[in-house]
């Protein structure tokens, strides 16, 4: 992927707490992209993801007036929060002449993980909070990685840090790492420095080492250096430690995740990094 033109932000309480929309608007301005803030209503509507499956099962929606009022109040609250953030970020509702950057608010009904994964397929990037609780990996992140087909930028708690400093690219020679590499090119071009890290020469042992990745990046105008990290603890712990050692503020990696009978199963490395990283992660499966 050479361009980011459509950014999707699931707008919920965790996203508000972690200032996810602010980060997405900054990225939208940098990449000249449209940012869509998506509020997920608990009330599915025709043409929403999951509506057809629900109606085929004969599941109607016997909604009480209280439930309707609560859903409408939640939607209005999120719309209000969105407007405040949009205005603070000076994001236009309509792109200026010769520009694409703009922001919009959208509503879809149903289960958040299913809705976001479906909408991700017509986006270039999803930006989301890691989860509400410490160490929690949200079902939405799992769904985007397994079903969305697009990269996701996962933001931790804490202050927003710039993403144009040093970037670490985790490399093991596997297909998911290659996809993450391709999706990350816009970020790598904007980074001040890029370090390609492989653990115990994992990529080299598969025939394509970190040095080959650095050579590939050079063909795309990205100057990168390669580094082999000796495994200490788990691979996930080694990658987190390497990111800190290089004083990087973004880790790019492939996300090993598989869908089995509607249950999301993460690889150990993916889950370890998501649960422990205190810096942004750009992941693709």
According to CATH, what is the number of the domain 6-155? 3.40.50.620
Confidence category of residue 165, pLDDT binned at 50, 70, 90: very high
Domain 166-284 in the same topology as domain 6-155: yes
Angle between helices 20-31 and 65-88 (to 10 degrees): 50
Q: Does domain 166-284 have CATH number 3.20.20.70?
A: no
Question: Tokens 């987190």 sit at which residue?
Answer: 240
Contact 143, 114 (CB under 8 A): yes
DSSP letter assigned to residue 131: -
Q: What is the DSSP string of 54-117?
A: HHHTT------HHHHHHHHHHHHHHHHHHHHHHHHTT--SSPPTT---EEEEEEEES-HHHHHH
- Give the Cα separation of 188 and 169 in Å (integer): 9
Q: What's the token pair of residue 183? A: 């999706």
pLDDT by residue (tens digit) across 66-108? 777 888 898 999 999 999 999 999 999 999 999 999 999 999 9
Q: Exposed/middle/buried for 57, CB within 10 Å: 0-12, 13-18, 19+?
A: exposed
Q: Is 50 exceeded by the pLDDT of residue 15?
A: yes
Every domain of the chain and the residues it spans: 6-155, 166-284
Confidence category of residue 260, pLDDT binned at 50, 70, 90: very low
Question: Tokens 């750009």 sit at which residue?
Answer: 282
Contact 120, 6 (CB under 8 A): no
Confidence (pLDDT) at 68: 77
Nearest to 140 by CA among 272, 8, 236: 8
């Amino acid at each position: 992927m050479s361009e980011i033109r459509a950014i999707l932000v699931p707008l919920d309480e965790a996203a508000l707490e972690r200032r996810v929309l602010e980060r997405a608007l900054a990225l939208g301005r940098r990449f000249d992209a449209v940012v869509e803030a998506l509020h997920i209503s608990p009330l599915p509507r025709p043409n929403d993801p999951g509506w057809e499956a629900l109606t085929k099962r004969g599941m109607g929606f016997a909604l009480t007036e209280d439930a309707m009022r609560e859903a409408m109040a939640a939607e209005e609250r999120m719309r209000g929060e969105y407007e405040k953030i949009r205005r603070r970020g000076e994001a236009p509702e309509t792109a200026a002449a010769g520009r694409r950057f703009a922001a919009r608010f959208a509503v879809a009904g149903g289960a958040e993980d299913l809705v976001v994964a479906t909408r991700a397929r017509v986006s270039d990037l999803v930006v989301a909070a890691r989860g509400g609780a410490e160490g929690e990996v949200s079902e939405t992140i799992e769904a985007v990685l397994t079903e969305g087909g697009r990269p996701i930028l996962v933001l931790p708690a804490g202050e927003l840090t710039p993403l144009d400093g040093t970037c670490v690219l985790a490399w093991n020679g596997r297909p998911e790492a290659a996809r993450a590499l391709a999706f990350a090119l816009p970020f790598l071009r904007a980074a001040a420095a890029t370090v390609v890290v492989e653990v115990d020469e994992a990529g080299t042992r598969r025939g394509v080492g970190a040095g080959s990745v650095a050579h590939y990046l050079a063909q795309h105008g990205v100057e990168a250096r390669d580094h082999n990290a000796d495994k200490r603890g788990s691979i996930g712990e080694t990658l987190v430690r390497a990111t800190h050692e290089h004083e990087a503020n973004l880790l790019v990696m492939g996300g090993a995740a598989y869908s089995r009978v509607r249950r999301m199963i993460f690889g150990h490395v993916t889950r370890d990094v998501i649960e422990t990283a205190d810096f942004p992660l750009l992941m693709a499966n």
